Chains A and B, each alone.
Chain A
Amino acid sequence: MVQSLRVVEANARVYKRTWKGSAVTAFLSPVLFLLAMGLGLGSIIDSNPGADGLGGVRYVSFIASGLLAATAMQTGAVEGSWPVLSGIKWMKSYHAALATPVRVSDLVTGNLLWMAVRVTLSAVAFAIVSALLGVLAPIEVLAALPAAILTGMAFAAPVTAYTAIAKDETRLSAVFRFAILPMFLFSGTFFPIEQLPGWLQPVAYVTPLWHGVELCRSSAIGFDTVLDPIAHLGYLALWASAGWWFAQRNLRKRLQP
């Protein structure tokens, strides 16, 4: 455990150089999204008779509660891809760490803990923005944070495991193009998945994001979850822990052949 925390510390020292830029992004992107999609598009939707599908909630609040989960997903996936490949291939900082008493398990656990920190920061930034814009109630959005963080880890860990076997960065962009972006659009963030064609709905159920959106939406705007919240939490935890396990296995093969 001590060794994992040293890996967290190393990440924090590296982050010190870039935190300003990343903080600006963390605050700016929810502002832009909520203004454009929520307030702009929302004003049209809310005045439309079909808006009953949202259970009387303002559209901006509906998507804000989903975007909280989607933001966590995005941060988790980004943290699990480029920085990991850099550690393996470009800067080789993983090789450097493994020449010390740090083990592969420490390296993976430490990096995932760090990713949890990053996911938390971006989710908190989102929560602050949505509360300040009056889109979500401060207490409720606070209550949704744990689910958002777990959602982020349900992506960070498996993406890390995937990056551990990825040859180069084109494999990473493929994840965003073919997995992250479609999930972002079709897993319930912007509209209830009941609106999807019937055959697509089961696909949405399988995506971790949908479970995260369900949980965040229930805490933030009081919607009922489709499954028992425990089942949603369990599903996300399964992705996170499977990712954690495979990340160790894959990195061990890659870094210590």
Chain B
Amino acid sequence: MHNQETAEVRPADAASGGGDLVTARGLTKRFDDFVAVDEVDFSIAHGEAFGFLGPNGAGKTSTMRMIASVSPVTEGHLRVLGMEPASQGPEIRARLGVVPQEDTLDTELTVNENLYIYGRYFGIGGTVLKERIDELLDFVQLTERRDSRVEPLSGGMKRRLTIARALINEPDVLILDEPTTGLDPQARHVLWDRLYRLKQRGVTLIITTHYMDEAEQLCDRLVVMDQAKIVAEGSPKALIDQYSTREVVELRFAVGSQQNVGHLLDDLAQRIEELPDRILLYTHNGDDAVGAVHERGLNPESIVVRRSTLEDVFLRLTGRRLID
């Protein structure tokens, strides 16, 4: 019944030249007077792993929910898979997989029942659905738990089940809102591995996270959000090149002595960041900077030389850490 609309949309989309699956221009979300997403622009290309990085309340989930066509756009332009979320929500959602920030599994039902019911919502049924459930359980390593209730499963297992559920309709785009928050390192690595495989199969991934290592691992390109706005955009490497130096020297001083030394370091690095517990020197050559610190007769309790990360980019852009 929506065919005419779709037919109208496709050529226009092709003409605009984009292989883009999602385009947002001036996208805004307000809750009453509160602005949760403030005129953001971004495009997500086919097959890409695209990240939204930012602290609590930055507007990541609000943006994701608009893309997932479950939250109306307040203002601006949003196209998902060449379609209009306001009028073609069901058609868009038919081709998306969604892993929400909070689990929405029915914990009283079994693993299999959760997948089966969800699959039925997409109109999948019979042997096709059964086979797909088998494959997905295998993919997320939950085959043995097929008939257990969801409630006693570990956080990592529930997350994997949610991912399996999101894949039941073989989506073109998988939207993951903090897929690994609250998981232990091993569970996170298992999840990263599965997401990486999906990407290799050509599934477009849209991910939000607080974790810079996750963003660096998974994302081809990302935007940094802060206070409802996008403050930077690029590949992890490009962002680091643009907003940080190659290396960082972390100096820790004896408790209480840090404030006395800050000014002595001023000219030793391109940029200096004083955190409550340490001083960061941003420099292209960490070892040279360490030498200079010693020449000044300073004796920090510990010195670490490391490469710049997205965390440094974030600190530079917002003056805040990613996880408060």
Contacts and interface: CB of A to CB of B under 8 A. Distances in A.
Interface of A: 2-3, 6-7, 9-10, 13-14, 17, 91-93, 95-103, 255-257
Q: Classify chain B's interface size.
A: 20 to 34
Given A13-B117, A14-B117, A17-B108, 16 more contacts: A2-B123, A13-B109, A14-B108, A14-B109, A17-B109, A91-B107, A91-B108, A92-B102, A92-B104, A97-B121, A99-B93, A100-B169, A101-B90, A101-B122, A257-B31, A257-B71
A6 B121 CA distance: 6
Nearest to A252: B72
Given A2-B123, A100-B122, A101-B122, A10 B117 contact: yes
A214 B98 CA distance: 49
Interface in B95-120: 96, 98, 100, 102-109, 113, 116-118, 120
B102 A99 contact: no
Given A101-B122, A256-B72, A96 B116 contact: no
A89 to B, nearest CB: 11
Contacts of B70: 98-99, 255-256
Contact of A13 (B91, B116, B123): B116
Nearest to B114: A96
A56 B107 CA distance: 54
B275 interface: no
A254 to B, nearest CB: 12
Contacts of A96: 104-106, 118, 165
Nearest to A18: B108
Interface in B47-104: 68, 70-72, 89-91, 93-94, 96, 98, 100, 102-104
Name which of A2, A13, A93, A99 has the most chain B CB atoms within 10 A of its CB. A99
A91 B121 contact: no
Contacts of B90: 3, 101-103
Given A6-B121, A10-B121, A101 B107 contact: no
Contacts of B169: 100
Contacts of A6: 120-121, 123
A102 B121 contact: yes
Most chain A CB within a 10 A radius of its CB, from B94, B102, B116, B121: B121
Interface in B111-141: 113, 116-118, 120-123
B169 to A, nearest CB: 8
Contacts of B120: 6, 9-10
Contacts of A99: 68, 70, 93, 96, 98, 100, 104
